[in-house]
């Protein structure tokens, strides 16, 4: 006797929600396609401008105005919903990963509702600003092209992002109510489960009372207590940290805390002005047009398979060294980070490629994981570095010299790491499965293998030489170098892959570029609102006065920052640390006469170092989670303690180089100085 399977029939309400969700998905996809078209147009327009300038002594018309006022808003604001769908908006799951599923969902609902409120303000006041400029008929000063139309992208993109979040909010509330009724203990919290390690959950009510209680107390003091302006700014910072612990997206946590502080400090007009002008004003900046170009270039090279080719070439050419695979992983990481601009992406890629290879050769898990973690550290120093571009925008320094400033320290760091690896292996041969007296070289690698591996990656060094040689020689600006890099990567993708696969890779890269760029800029929006609140409250001036009153030398000031950033790295990612702290520290940097270019390298290096430092180094947990997969660990047990130990082996040399930079800052300023000449 056959039985019919039981099928859950969706209710009319569920059908309506599904229809609404599908409609939003289609609209978001269309917006993403338009944003991707903006990336391509930006690249082609800049390349055309350079070609016309050198071939015909006539630049392409309105390149600067069209790029910053049209292409960038298309990419950023139409990409906000795509960033939400692809989980590109940045949060700091410090406590969140250890919460029960019920409390995770509760905090997710709270953070989503707060995000909707902030986006509603951005959409409403952005619309008002767009209408005002439309009535004025705003045009570009140099070109005369109309620039009021892109202003409507702010409310359009913000509204779609808010609708996406509302749909998610409705779904989560329904899950929460259903689970509460049925007493379920397992809930679907998000599309991406970010639990990094096996750990017992924190107790439900103590966490709930602590975080909600602190937030309510802080808000009550801000609203009802008669506190000074600096105290109110400090309370806003405390509120932001509390929201971060509740896993509220970082851009929302900073934006909401900053907006509330502005409202209480200067009234509704100042808060409305921030929401009205900051999103578009932060986006429409020429120096930031390089960001989508670098991201697009990195994604194309990654999807074309260049990362595997770089790894094969590095391990082949360094096969003679003690710990050759680990050394090769280190140098491959420097190259990958330079092209991807992302330490996380480098660690993830090398974890999948390098860890199995080293474990297969009987490498100790501490050396294997340590060499993967440190492989991406210097990558944000070696151009093209996304963090360097962002710092240059915050500190108002030229992007080109700032990018070149990190080249020498980045390469030096990779060499020092290679020396540490070889030294460890010589002192403890068992780390690579050898006994004392045994040779370390890999006799299976021939010179033919080496030259063949090099032949498979030669277009990449050629592309980098054209980009940064042109920038060093004054032929390109940073944005133009990025556009040529993206254009060259597009050509390489079609060389390395078959046409159908290449076209698919380009499409996915455009989608990810739009989402990644929008996620970064949404973080910018919140950071700029928060920093404006700190300036208005006087906190920035007080911090500068306090640092001056300490009587520290410039070296003492920088040594103090090393400790501060290592502590901040326990709870924040490098980008957030930079956005929060750099605007506060720049007055002190100027007071001490420290080079802004040097300080950029110092801050980026510190941020990267902080996230690999025990006890809460973010990169350590990311690699640990990856190492739990059977196809990565090859059946061997890799503990969190082993990963931390492997990372700790490289900390002394990293801090040593950092301190060396304090006394010999010329290693950062030498190359930019040559560019200036």
How far is the C-alpha of 420 from the C-alpha of 499, rounded, in Å? 43
DSSP helix/strand/coil, 219? helix
Tokens at 447, concatenated: 């010179």
Place of tokens 């100790």: 364
Report the C-alpha gap between 53 and 57 in whole angstroms. 4
295 within 8 A of 515, measured Cβ to Cβ: no
Place of tokens 């120096």: 287
What is the DSSP track for 449-512?
Answer: HHHHHHHTTTHHHHHHHHHHHHHHTTS--HHHHHHHHHHHHHHHHHHHS-HHHHHHHHHHHHHH
Confirm if 489 and 303 have CB atoms less than 8 A apart.
no
Quick: pLDDT tens for 66-87: 999 999 999 999 999 998 888 7
pLDDT tens digits, 213-231:
888 999 998 888 888 888 9
- What SS3 state is found at 585? helix
Query: CA-CA distance, 485 to 487, in Å (whole number)?
Result: 5
User: How far apart (Å, rounded) are the C-alpha atoms in residues 264 and 230?
Assistant: 12
Rg (CA), the chain: 26
pLDDT at 439: 56
Is the pTM higher than 0.75? The answer reads yes
DSSP string, 352-397: HHHHHHHHHTT--HHHHHHHHHHHTGGGGTSSS-HHHHHHHHHHT-
Token digits of residue 97: 């990963």
Contact 283, 73 (CB under 8 A): yes
- In the numeric block, which tokens belong to residue 476? 């390109």
List the beta bridge partners of residue 146.
139
Element housing 425 (H / E) = helix 407-427
Q: How far is the C-alpha of 516 from the C-alpha of 32, rounded, in Å?
A: 12
Taking each helix axis as running N to C, give the angle between helix 153-182 and helix 101-136, from 0 to 180 degrees, rounded to the nearest 10. Answer: 160
Report yes or no: 582 and 395 within 8 Å, Cβ to Cβ.
yes
- Residue 371's alpha-carbon distances to 312, 326, 366, 420, in angstroms, are 16, 6, 8, 10
Residue numbers in the chain where pLDDT is lower than 70: 1-18, 92-94, 97, 143, 179-204, 307, 337-345, 379, 435-444, 570-571, 614-618, 676-677
Kindly state the tokens that stand for 394. 């915050």
Give helix then strand counts, H and E, for the chain: 31, 0
Structure tokens at 402: 């700032």
């Amino acid at each position: 006797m056959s039985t019919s399977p039981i099928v859950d029939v969706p209710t009319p309400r569920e059908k309506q929600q599904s229809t609404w969700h599908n409609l939003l998905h289609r609209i978001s996809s269309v917006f993403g396609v338009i944003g991707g078209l903006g990336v391509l147009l930006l690249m082609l327009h800049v390349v055309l401008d350079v070609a016309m300038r050198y071939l015909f002594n006539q630049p392409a018309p309105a390149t600067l105005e069209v790029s910053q006022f049209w292409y960038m808003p298309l990419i950023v604001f139409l990409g906000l919903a795509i960033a939400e769908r692809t989980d590109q908006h940045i949060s700091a799951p410090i406590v969140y990963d250890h919460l029960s599923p019920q409390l995770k969902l509760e905090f997710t609902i709270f953070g989503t509702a707060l995000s909707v409120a902030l986006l509603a303000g951005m959409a409403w006041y952005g619309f008002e600003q767009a209408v005002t400029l439309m009535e004025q008929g705003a045009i570009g000063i140099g070109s005369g092209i109309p620039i009021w139309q892109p202003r409507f992208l702010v409310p359009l993109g913000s509204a779609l992002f808010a609708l996406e979040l509302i749909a998610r909010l409705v779904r989560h509330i329904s899950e929460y109510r259903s689970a509460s009724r049925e007493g379920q203990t397992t809930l679907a919290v998000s599309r991406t489960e970010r639990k990094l390690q096996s750990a017992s959950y924190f107790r439900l009510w103590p966490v709930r009372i602590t975080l909600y209680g602190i937030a309510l107390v802080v808000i009550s003091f801000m609203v009802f207590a008669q506190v000074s302006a600096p105290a109110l700014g400090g309370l806003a910072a405390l509120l932001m940290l509390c929201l971060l612990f509740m896993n509220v997206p970082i851009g929302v946590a900073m934006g909401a805390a900053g907006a509330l502080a502005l409202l209480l400090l200067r009234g509704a007009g100042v808060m409305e002005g921030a929401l009205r002008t900051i999103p578009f004003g932060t986006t429409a900046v020429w120096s930031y047009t390089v960001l989508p170009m670098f991201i697009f270039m990195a994604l194309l090279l990654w999807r074309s398979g260049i990362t595997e080719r770089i790894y094969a070439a590095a391990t082949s050419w360094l096969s003679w060294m003690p710990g050759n695979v680990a050394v090769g992983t280190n140098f491959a990481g420097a190259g990958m980070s330079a092209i991807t601009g992302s330490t996380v992406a480098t660690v993830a890629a090398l974890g999948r490629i390098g860890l199995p290879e080293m474990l297969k050769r009987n490498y100790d898990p501490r050396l294997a994981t340590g060499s993967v973690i440190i492989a991406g550290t210097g990558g944000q120093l070696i151009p093209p570095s996304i963090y360097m571009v962002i710092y240059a925008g915050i500190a108002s320094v030229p992007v080109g010299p700032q990018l070149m400033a990190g080249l020498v320290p980045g390469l030096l760091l990779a060499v020092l790491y290679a020396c540490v690896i070889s030294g460890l292996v010589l002192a403890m041969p068992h780390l690579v499965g050898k006994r004392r007296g045994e040779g370390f070289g890999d006799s299976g690698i021939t010179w033919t293998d080496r030259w063949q591996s090099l032949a498979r990656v030669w277009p990449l060094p050629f592309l980098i030489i054209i980009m940064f040689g042109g920038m060093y020689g004054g032929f390109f600006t940073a944005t133009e170098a990025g556009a040529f890099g993206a254009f060259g990567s597009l050509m390489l993708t079609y060389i390395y892959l078959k046409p159908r696969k290449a076209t698919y890779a380009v499409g996915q890269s455009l989608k990810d570029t739009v989402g990644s760029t929008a996620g970064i800029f949404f973080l910018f929006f919140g950071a700029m609102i928060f920093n404006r609140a700190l300036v208005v409250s006087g906190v920035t001036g007080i911090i500068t006065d306090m640092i001056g009153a300490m009587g520290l030398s410039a070296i003492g000031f920088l040594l103090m920052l090393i400790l501060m950033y290592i502590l901040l790295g326990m709870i924040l990612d490098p980008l957030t640390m930079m956005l929060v702290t750099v605007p506060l520290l720049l007055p002190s940097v100027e007071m001490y006469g420290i080079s802004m270019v040097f300080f950029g390298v110092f801050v980026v290096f510190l941020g990267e170092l902080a996230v690999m430092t025990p006890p809460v180094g973010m990169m350590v947990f990311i690699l640990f989670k990856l190492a739990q997969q059977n196809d990565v660990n090859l059946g061997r047990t890799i503990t969190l303690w082993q990963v931390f130990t492997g990372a700790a082996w490289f900390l002394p040399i990293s801090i040593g180089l950092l301190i060396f930079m304090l006394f010999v800052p010329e290693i950062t300023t030498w190359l930019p100085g040559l560019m200036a000449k």
